[in-house]
Structure 1
Amino acid sequence: MFDSRHIKTFHEVVRTGSYSAAARALGYTQPAITQQMKALERDVGTPLFIRAGRGLRLSEAGEALSRHAAAILGSMSAAEEQIHALTRLRAGRVRVCAFPSANTILIPETMARLAAGHPGIHVDLLGDKPPESLQRLVRGECDITLAFTYPGLHDHVPDELVEIPLLEDQLTVLLPAGHPLARRRAVQLTDLAQERWIAGCLRCRTNLLHECGEQGFAPDIVFTTDDGLAVQAMVAAGLGVAMVPALVLSFLCHPRVSGRPLQPASRRQISAYVLREHLRIPATTQVLAELKTVASHKTGC
C-alpha cells in the first residue's frame, strides 16, 4: 500500500525534474524529499530514479508509477471532496421505504424541506408495509423505514434496529353518508357490532379483530383490500363500514363517506426505523430530523 503523501511528492519530483525543485514547490526541505522517495522505493521494492550526471531520470518502475500517479492523485482528490460534501451535508443519497399513507403525507413535505435546505441530499423512495419493510431495512435494501404498529399487537423488531417515534395516528370509522351514526361526533365501537366491515391490510385487519374482540364481538368482514381508495368507495356504496387511520382521511375524502373518531379512542404509532450504525451518517440523520419536524405538525400527533 503506497502512502498518498509519497505519491504526491513523487509526482512533484517528476514534474519539476529534481528533489530540490520539488522541495521548493512543496515547502519541504530537500532531505525530507529524499527520505520520502527512499520510503516510496522501499514500498515499491525497486529504484524509481536513476542518476544521470547532475540530473535524474526515471527507471522503468518509475515510468510505470509516473503514468498512474496523476490518476491516483486525481481520484484521491475527488474522493476527499466527496467525503467532505457528505460530512458537511452538501451531498448524500438516502433510501426511504414507507407505507402508502406515509408516502402520500409525510414524505412529500420532508422532501420539500430537504430540497430547500439541503439540495444535495437525494431521497430514493420505496414502497412497502410492515413487517416486510422492516426486513428490507435489515437486508440493506433501504436506509430508513417508516412503519406503524397498533396497541395490543406485539410486533417483533430486530435488535439491530433503532426506533424513532414520529406521531400517533387516531383511528376513525368510515360510515356511508346518511348512516344514523354519522350524526354523532364520535362512535362507540360496540355500536358497530352488527355492521358489515371492509378490512384493510393484514396488520390493519389483525388490529380490527383485536379491537372488536376487546369490546366483546367479532366483526363481520365481507371485503378485504389494501387499497384505501377502494375501501372508501365500498363504504360509499353501502357495502360496509371500515376502520382507518386519520392520516388516510387527510388525502382521501370521498364525498359520500363520513369519518368519525372511535370510542374508546385508539391510535396507531408511526415510527422511523434505522440500523444503529446509520445514525452516524449525516445525510440519514438530516432526513430523520426533517421527518420528525413534518410529523410534529400533523393533526394525528
Structure 2
Amino acid sequence: MMNLVHLRVLATVARHGSVTEAAKELHYSQSSVSHHLARLEAATGAKLVQRAGRGIRLTPEGRLLAIRATEIVGRVEAATNELAAQVGLRAGRVRLAANASVLSTIVPEAVNALARAHPGLELVLIDQHPVEALQMLRQGEIDLALIFQHAHAPLEQEEGFRLVHLREDAVHLVSRRPGDTMAAHRHSPWIGGCYRCQEELVSACRREGFTPRIASLSDDIVVVQALVAAGVGVTTLPGLALRAHRRADVHTTELTGFRRQLYAATYGDPPDPPAISAVLTALTEAAA
C-alpha cells in the first residue's frame, strides 16, 4: 500500500532528479530514500526509477506517479495549514509565489502588516514567474500566486483559479536619454527578459510599428539597468521593478496605454481559509 511518506520521497526525487539532493531536502540518508522508493515500487508493482550513469531517472510510470504524488502531498499540506488556520490564525502557514519585482515591493509591506496582526502566521515566499506559479498552485505546492497579465497577452488559466485584482502597474521604456520614445529605438538593440516579459516588450514595440531586435537577455532588474547604462541596449520594465531598484544613470519614460494588471490567484472552491484570507487582505492593502 502506498503511503504519504513514500509519495513525498518520490515527488522530491522527481523535483531534484537526484537521490542525493532529495535526501538533503528531506533530511534522510540516501539509503533511506532508496528504501522508500523500493517500497513504493513494491506497493505499486511498477518500475518507477532506473539507473542513468551515476544517477537515476524516472520511468514513464514513475513520472506519472510523481505528478500525482506532488499534487497529493501539496493538498495534504494545504489541508493541514487550513486546519491550523481555522483555529483562529494562532498558527498556520501560507505558501506564496511571486516574481521578483512584487516580492521586493508589495510583499514586504504585507509581511510587516501580517506580523503585527497575526504573529503566529508563517508566510513562505517563493520567487517564481506567473506561468510556473499557477502550475505550482494547481498542484498544491503553494496556496497563493501573485501574477501579472497584459491585455495583449493574457495568461491561459484552467478552471478552478480565482483571481483578486490588486493594482495596475505601468510599463516604462528604460534608456540613457531623457524623454525618449519607443519609435526612436526601432533600430537599436533591445534587452529581453523572461518569456512573458519578452512578449510584452515585443507587443509594445509592434504597437509603435516595428519589431525589436533582441540582442541580449537577462531577467535581473539590476543587470538589465546596468546593461542599459553601459549602452548595450534599451528595454522596458514595469513600475514595481523600478521601485525595487532604480539606477541614477538611466532614464525612464512611461508608456501610455500599456499597463500590467496584478492579481492574487487562489485555487479551488471558496471560501478561502482564514490564513489565506488574511494574507489576501494584507496584500490588497499593501498594493493600494
The alignment partner of 1:250 has SS state of helix
Taking the aligned partners of 2:168 and 2:189, their CA distance within structure 1 comes to: 27
| CA deviation after TM superposition for structure 1 residue 271, in Å | 0.6
Within a 5 Å distance, the mapping from 1:55-74 to structure 2 comes to: none
Is the contact made by 1:145 and 1:272 (CA closer than 8 Å) also made in structure 2? yes
Q: Select which of 240, 245, 266 maps to 2:258.
A: 266
| CA deviation after TM superposition for structure 1 residue 260, in Å | 1.6
Taking the aligned partners of 2:94 and 2:108, their CA distance within structure 1 comes to: 14
Taking the aligned partners of 1:271 and 1:217, their CA distance within structure 2 comes to: 30
Q: Select which of 250, 268, 282 maps to 2:274.
A: 282
Greater mean deviation of Cα atoms: 193-202 or 134-143 = 193-202
| CA deviation after TM superposition for structure 1 residue 214, in Å | 2.3
Q: 2:286 is matched with which residue?
A: 294
Is the contact made by 2:85 and 2:275 (CA closer than 8 Å) also made in structure 1? no
1:257 paired with 2:250, answer: yes
Q: What TM-score comes out, normalization by structure 2 length? A: 0.68
Q: Give the alignment's Cα RMSD to 1 decimal.
A: 1.7
Count of residue correspondences: 207
Q: Select which of 187, 199, 221 maps to 1:194.
A: 187
Q: 1:44 is matched with which residue?
A: none
Q: 1:224 is matched with which residue?
A: 217
Q: 1:67 is matched with which residue?
A: none
Q: 1:143 is matched with which residue?
A: 143
Amino acid at match of 1:86: Q
Taking the aligned partners of 1:168 and 1:193, their CA distance within structure 2 comes to: 27
| CA deviation after TM superposition for structure 1 residue 84, in Å | 7.8
Q: 2:99 is matched with which residue?
A: 99
1:88 paired with 2:117, answer: no
Q: 1:237 is matched with which residue?
A: 230
Q: 1:12 is matched with which residue?
A: none
Q: Select which of 221, 241, 250 maps to 1:248.
A: 241
Taking the aligned partners of 1:146 and 1:85, their CA distance within structure 2 comes to: 21
Taking the aligned partners of 2:233 and 2:189, their CA distance within structure 1 comes to: 5
Q: 1:19 is matched with which residue?
A: none
Q: What TM-score comes out, normalization by structure 1 length? A: 0.65
Cα separation, partners in 2 of 1:233 and 1:83, compared to 1, 3 Å: closer
Q: 1:168 is matched with which residue?
A: 168
Amino acid at match of 2:250: V
Cα separation, partners in 2 of 1:283 and 1:85, compared to 1, 3 Å: closer
The alignment partner of 2:271 has SS state of helix
Taking the aligned partners of 2:92 and 2:223, their CA distance within structure 1 comes to: 37
| CA deviation after TM superposition for structure 1 residue 100, in Å | 0.8
Taking the aligned partners of 2:160 and 2:84, their CA distance within structure 1 comes to: 28
Taking the aligned partners of 1:89 and 1:208, their CA distance within structure 2 comes to: 42
The alignment partner of 2:203 has SS state of helix
Is the contact made by 1:87 and 1:282 (CA closer than 8 Å) also made in structure 2? no
Amino acid at match of 2:127: G
The alignment partner of 1:108 has SS state of helix
Cα separation, partners in 2 of 1:279 and 1:189, compared to 1, 3 Å: farther
Is the contact made by 2:96 and 2:125 (CA closer than 8 Å) also made in structure 1? yes
Taking the aligned partners of 1:153 and 1:83, their CA distance within structure 2 comes to: 37
Which runs of 5 or more residues in structure 2 are unaligned? 1-81
Is the contact made by 2:173 and 2:237 (CA closer than 8 Å) also made in structure 1? yes
| CA deviation after TM superposition for structure 1 residue 277, in Å | 3.2
Within a 5 Å distance, the mapping from 1:2-41 to structure 2 comes to: none
Taking the aligned partners of 1:228 and 1:280, their CA distance within structure 2 comes to: 33
Larger radius of gyration: 1
Which runs of 5 or more residues in structure 1 are unaligned? 1-81, 297-301
Q: 2:6 is matched with which residue?
A: none
Q: 1:122 is matched with which residue?
A: 122
